[in-house]
């Protein structure tokens, strides 16, 4: 392509190339900090991080009613999204401790702390996990007053809580208890509360009538014979799980467990059983999972480089740092294809597959997904062997020269919300014939790792 021709390439033309599956040239990477979108995507709003936690990065999201809850290494914030175009901050809680993965249920907010602290308080500071008295695990807040959340309980867990997944009880138990599947990893013989092997998860039982009685109720071992530890190219060997997505009404779960992808039977909430397991030579770190609405497929993500590397470039290629799509046949995982955003990012941009959610379109499998500095991608995997991107939103490289991007991107009641490390909360809308029907689907709560069907 001549220099003159490159100068004439517009953002719309780049979008057309990307949606056709043709990677844009390095010369087509957006200018620093510039927002670009596909023609069917609109950037509705951006709300900067509140001052109390502006210095620390945003992480995961949860939703309930007219509110969004945004985790942050420094705590969490509550946003009023009753009018998404005029989203506003209601409150911020300063309570540091990476990485503040959040889930909500009723008047409770649960947050994951995978950062060894000198105590469990919101005034705590970092302290080595080699010190027996150090604390990490789960914090519970009462959010009945959105303007003034109250910290009511902590539960310490082995190796902390990198992520947590809310699991409702079954039958009569449904209105009595919720359970938290706590994923953690990276044990060490020098850590008194996290020695190897650590091939397990922790399950916290939370009595809804008395949440301050929450406690660890079980620690089932996922890999009694050890996980994938010797595969070349692993970020770290399997020593637990990174994240678990449950589909409670179907009594199943999918675990992204570092070097392994697994399926669980969770009919017994305190005793999940592994029913299928797989590995992939192209995967460095099994990071997260999403079921299709009918639970006949599951998408696993690979966090190649741990989220800090530039992996969305020609050198890495389309099959690493990507999604892997599996059909579930006779209870087993059958690999079908990979999906990766078809837009090259600059070598200064950390980019890799990260957290996303389904868009509730009847009869199709479509999801929105965060890719750190690759922005967010809306893509269709109805044909699990031929996934394709149908829309996107991203920013150019950061003028500051450091990393960042969108940690989580989820669809909730007609809009897409993206939690950006530095830029705050983005509100995005897609207008496309493939997704327009989703606007009529409403829910009153969304914890993405607690998947619920949207058409029964």
Selected residue with higher pLDDT from 24 and 212: 212
Q: What is the DSSP letter of 439?
A: G
Residues linked to residue 380 through DSSP beta bridges, in sequence order: 366, 388
- Residue where the block lists tokens 């830029």: 423
Can you give the pLDDT at residue 1?
32
Chain mean position to CA 406: 10
Encode pLDDT of 377-391 as tens digits.
999 999 999 999 999
Can you give the pLDDT at residue 23?
52
What mean pLDDT do residues 20-49 have? 84
Can you give the pLDDT at residue 21?
52
Cα–Cα distance, 410 to 405 (Å, whole number): 15
Can you give the pLDDT at residue 329?
98
Q: pLDDT band at residue 251, thresholds of 50, 70 and 90? A: very high
Domain ranges in the chain are 3-446
Q: pLDDT band at residue 17, thresholds of 50, 70 and 90? A: very low
Can you give the pLDDT at residue 455?
74
- Contact (Cβ atoms closer than 8 angstroms) between residue 284 and residue 234: yes
Selected residue with higher pLDDT from 324 and 20: 324
Least confidently predicted of 5-19, 255-269, 285-299: 5-19
CATH code at 3-446: 2.130.10.10
**Cross-sheet strand order for the sheet of 58-64:** 88-94, 75-80, 67-72, 58-64, 445-446
Phi, then psi, of 18 in degrees rounded to 5? -65, -45
| Radius of gyration of the chain from its Cα atoms, rounded to whole angstroms | 21
Cα–Cα distance, 217 to 368 (Å, whole number): 34
Residue 258 φ/ψ region, left for φ over 0, alpha for ψ in the -120 to 50 degree band, beta for the rest: left
| pLDDT > 90 in the chain, percent | 93
**CA-based nearest residue to 318, from 19, 14, 16, 21:** 21
Cα–Cα distance, 245 to 106 (Å, whole number): 20
What mean pLDDT do residues 188-216 have? 97
Q: What is the dihedral of CA 246, 278, 322, 317, to 10 degrees?
A: 180
Can you give the pLDDT at residue 28?
78
> Rounded to whole angstroms, what are the CA distances from 226 to 32, 191, 239, 259, 285?
45, 19, 8, 11, 16
Cα–Cα distance, 100 to 76 (Å, whole number): 7
pLDDT surpasses 60 at 86: yes
192 contact partners, CB below 8 Å, separation of at least 6? 129, 130, 131, 132
CB atoms under 10 Å from CB of 271, counted, come to 11
Encode pLDDT of 140-166 as tens digits.
999 999 999 999 999 999 999 999 999
- Residue where the block lists tokens 């945004």: 70
What mean pLDDT do residues 17-39 have? 74
pLDDT surpasses 90 at 25: no
pLDDT surpasses 50 at 179: yes
pLDDT surpasses 90 at 24: no
- Rounded to two decimals, the pTM is 0.94
What mean pLDDT do residues 417-434 have? 98
pLDDT surpasses 70 at 456: no
Residues linked to residue 46 through DSSP beta bridges, in sequence order: 426
Cα–Cα distance, 108 to 85 (Å, whole number): 26
What mean pLDDT do residues 34-47 have? 98
**Cross-sheet strand order for the sheet of 35-37:** 35-37, 388-395, 376-380, 366-370, 356-359
pLDDT surpasses 50 at 71: yes
Cα–Cα distance, 44 to 376 (Å, whole number): 14
What mean pLDDT do residues 408-417 have? 98
């Amino acid at each position: 392509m001549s220099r003159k021709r490159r100068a004439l390439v517009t953002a719309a033309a780049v979008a057309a190339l990307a949606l056709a599956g043709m990677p844009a040239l390095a010369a087509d990477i957006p200018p620093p900090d510039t927002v670009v979108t596909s023609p069917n995507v609109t950037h509705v709003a951006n709300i900067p991080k509140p001052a109390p936690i502006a210095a620390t990065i945003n992480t995961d999201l949860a939703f309930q009613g007219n509110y969004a809850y945004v985790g942050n290494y420094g705590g969490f914030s509550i946003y009023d999204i009753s009018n998404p175009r005029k989203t506003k901050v209601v409150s911020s809680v300063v309570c540091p401790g990476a990485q503040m993965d959040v889930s909500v249920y009723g008047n409770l907010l649960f947050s994951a702390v995978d950062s060894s602290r000198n105590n469990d308080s919101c005034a705590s500071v970092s302290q080595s996990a080699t010190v027996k008295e150090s604390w990490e695990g789960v914090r519970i807040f009462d959010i009945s007053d959105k303007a003034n959340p109250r910290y009511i309980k902590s539960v310490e867990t082995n190796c902390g809580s990198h992520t947590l997944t809310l699991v409702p009880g079954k039958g009569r138990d449904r209105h009595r208890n919720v359970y938290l599947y706590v994923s953690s990893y990276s044990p060490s013989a020098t850590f008194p509360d996290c020695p190897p092997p650590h091939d397990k998860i922790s399950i916290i039982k939370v009595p809804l009538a008395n949440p301050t009685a929450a406690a660890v109720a079980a620690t089932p071992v996922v890999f009694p014979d050890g996980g994938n530890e010797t595969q070349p190219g692993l970020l770290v060997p399997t020593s637990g799980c990174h994240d678990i997505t449950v589909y409670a009404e179907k009594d199943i779960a999918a675990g992204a467990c570092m070097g392994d992808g697994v399926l669980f039977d969770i009919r017994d909430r305190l005793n999940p059983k592994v029913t299928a397991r797989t590995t992939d030579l192209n995967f460095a770190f099994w990071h997260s999972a999403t079921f299709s609405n009918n639970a006949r497929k599951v998408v696993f993500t690979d966090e190649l480089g741990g989220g800090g590397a530039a992996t969305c470039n020609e050198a890495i290629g389309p099959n690493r740092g990507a999604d892997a799509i599996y059909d579930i046949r006779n209870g087993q995982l059958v690999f079908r294809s990979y999906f990766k955003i078809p837009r090259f990012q600059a070598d200064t941009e950390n980019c890799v597959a990260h957290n996303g959610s389904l868009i509730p379109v009847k009869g199709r499998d479509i999801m929105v997904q965060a890719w750190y500095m690759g922005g967010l991608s809306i893509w269709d995997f109805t044909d699990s062997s031929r996934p394709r991107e149908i829309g996107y939103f991203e920013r150019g490289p950061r003028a500051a020269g450091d990393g960042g991007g969108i940690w989580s991107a989820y669809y909730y009641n007609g809009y897409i919300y993206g939690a950006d490390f530095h830029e705050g909360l983005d509100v995005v809308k897609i207008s496309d014939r493939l997704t327009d029907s989703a606007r009529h689907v409403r829910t009153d709560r969304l914890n993405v790792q607690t998947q619920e069907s949207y058409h029964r």
